[in-house]
Amino acid sequence: MGIFSKLVSKVKSESNVDIALQLFESQGIGGTIGTRAKAIISDCQSRQDVLLRAIELCGPNPIDAKSLYVVSHCYVWLGAKYRPQAIEYLEKYIAAGASWSGTPRDFIDMGGYSVDQLSSNRASVYHYLGKAYEGEYMFEKAENAYREAESLCPDFATYSVCVANTFVKRNDLERAKAYLNSKKQTIYYKNNVDDYKTLLNAALNDINSKIEKGYVYKPRGKSRK
């Protein structure tokens, strides 16, 4: 088989979901971009157009984990306007296991503890979902999503801070303070793993400042849920 024939065969073998994945990754992650994906990108006027084309290629009712990964993350990257869709498809992706065949699964030695890449990636999905809920003023659901992220990746202080912030937005600053203080007993805080202690202390200082100033969170134009 000649070089041209091999190229044609490869292009034909690429599924729409493969192309969608390439389009998604081209907008921030990087990776190999095939001939069809390049053609689509050149035909698009904006990043939003590329992401919407990726979603379209996955079909009107994606059900497999790979398609749900692409669609859910595209909606996340599309921003606030598409937040309801992000929530819908992140929930579906989580129901499918919050992973697909391309999700990294190695264990990384961090010197004293190890990081499970699969759990870390699943945690990021719950974090995205929490952010989407939070943006829709669904603070209890956001808290639950962040707690799931935290349980999967307890060495990442951001998830603990996000849990605390849902208390702040429900005007329960003392609970937020107590929650973060409870994290001082972890090995991640004591060893300042990946600046865990630094991030946690900064969040605590911010909450203490809010308490001193009598801060009250007021949602913009929506009732709290």
Can you list the domains of the chain with their CATH numbers? 16-100 (no CATH), 104-217 (1.25.40.10)
Q: What number is the average pLDDT over the span 17-28?
A: 95
The SS3 of residue 109 is strand
Q: What number is the average pLDDT over the span 108-127?
A: 88
pLDDT > 80? residue 216: yes
Per-residue pLDDT, 221: 67
- Indicate the pTM of the whole model: 0.89
Quote the DSSP letter at residue 116: E
Per-residue pLDDT, 12: 44
Q: Report the number of secondary-structure helices (H) and strands (E) in the chain.
A: 12, 2
Per-residue pLDDT, 9: 40
Q: Please tell me the total number of residues recorded for the chain in this structure.
A: 225
Per-residue pLDDT, 110: 72
Q: Any residues with CB less than 8 A from the CB of 35 and at least 6 apart, and which?
A: 7, 11
Distance CA(225)–CA(216), nearest Å, equals 16
Distance CA(67)–CA(73), nearest Å, equals 10
Least confident of 66-75, 104-113, 161-170: 104-113
Q: What number is the average pLDDT over the span 27-38?
A: 89
Higher pLDDT, residue 157 or 116: 157
Q: What number is the average pLDDT over the span 23-46?
A: 92
Answer whether 143's CB lies under 8 Å from 160's CB.
no
Expressed in percent and rounded to 5, the helix, strand and coil fractions of the chain are 70, 5, 30
Per-residue pLDDT, 186: 95
The pLDDT-based confidence of 11 (bands split at 50, 70, 90) is very low
